[in-house]
Amino acid sequence: MTQDPHAKLHIAAGAAQTPTPVPTPLRVVHDRQGTDLEAAELAAGQFLRALGVSTDSESLRDTPRRMAHAYAELFSPRPFDLTTFPNDEEYDELVLARSIPLRSVCEHHLLPFVGTAHIGYLPGQRILGLSKLARVLEHFACRPQVQERLTKQVADWLQSQLEPKGVGVVIQAEHTCMTLRGVQATGATTMTSTLLGLLRTDARSRSEFLALTGLPR
């Protein structure tokens, strides 16, 4: 049987056009095991009464329930997909999301701290959907935290999941455990930073990142 040379051509062309498999996005979900809102409401009521705050009035009767739900919300980040895309253009300059709103809870006093975060990276083979930088921040912020650990957790996680050439995270926040109690240093803010990869070792890249975030170089 004589083979059709055009058939080989069609097969070869079809094989060359097979699309590259798209990686399945990583689904990031907070583990809510152990959450018991009824027990939290009961404990909140006991806590208030132990401090001499009566919950018998109409205004305060539902406060323990509201407290329980409020803290459950503060400790429950929303699930998200870590969506990435191929860096087809081989973009190798800084990607920076500035002034991402931040709220977390100090693990020492369970009082809020609020502020902003600047998160940037130097892309490797893949780039990240920009909204995911805020999602990653929320994921680690929605739990009892200290700012130093939060800053490093966000940077380390992005470095391990995205494999960029460098990552930088800067957080500036006001801690109500410092401004509303104790020293009562009203208006004081705390700044922390973590630099990894080229943003730590390459002077030009580090200087550009710090300049864009407003940190002294």
Q: How confident is the model at residue 24 (pLDDT cuts 50, 70, 90)?
A: confident
pLDDT of residue 17: 56
Catalytic residue among 118, 153, 175, 208: 175
Q: What percent of the chain has pLDDT over 90?
A: 77
Distance CA 8, CA 196 (A): 50
Count of residues making up the chain: 217
Q: What is the pLDDT of residue 209?
A: 96
Q: Is 145 marked active-site? A: no
Spatial distance between the Cα atoms of 124 and 159, rounded to a whole number of angstroms: 10
Q: Which of the residues 10, 46, 73, 108 is marked catalytic? A: 108
201, 122 Cβ separation under 8 angstroms: no
Does the pLDDT value for residue 26 go beyond 80?
no
Respond yes or no: is residue 142 known to be catalytic.
Answer: no
100: pLDDT strictly greater than 90: yes
| Tokens at 112, concatenated | 């809020």
The pLDDT value given to residue 217 = 62
Q: How high does pLDDT run on average in the chain?
A: 89
- The per-residue pLDDT for range 126-178, each reduced to its tens digit, is 999 999 999 999 999 999 999 999 999 999 999 999 999 999 999 999 999 99
**How much is the average pLDDT of 20-48?**
83
Listed in sequence order, the residues at least 6 apart from 48 whose beta carbon sits closer than 8 Å to its beta carbon are 54, 55, 60, 63, 64, 67
Q: pLDDT grade, residue 180 (50/70/90)?
A: very high
Helix ranges (DSSP H) in 142-190: 147-162, 176-179
Segment 194-205 mean pLDDT: 96
| Catalytic option among 69, 109, 161, 174 | 109
Helix H or strand E segment including 95 = strand 95-106
Which tokens belong to 136? 């990653």
Its pTM surpasses 0.75: yes
Is 69 annotated in the active site?
Answer: no
Q: Which residues 6+ apart lie within 8 Å of 117 measured at CB? A: 99, 100, 102, 137, 154, 169, 170, 171, 172
Q: What is the pLDDT of residues 42-66, one digit of tens each?
A: 999 999 999 999 999 999 999 999 9
Candidates 145, 147, 153, 172; catalytic one: 147
Residue 102 has pLDDT above 70, yes or no: yes
Catalytic residue among 107, 125, 148, 163: 107
**Residue 6 among the catalytic residues:** no
Instruction: Of 20-24, 28-32, 93-97, 109-113, give the lowest mean pLDDT range.
Output: 20-24
| pLDDT above 90: residue 8 | no
Distance (Å, rounded) from C-alpha 56 to C-alpha 14? 76
At 149 the pLDDT is: 98
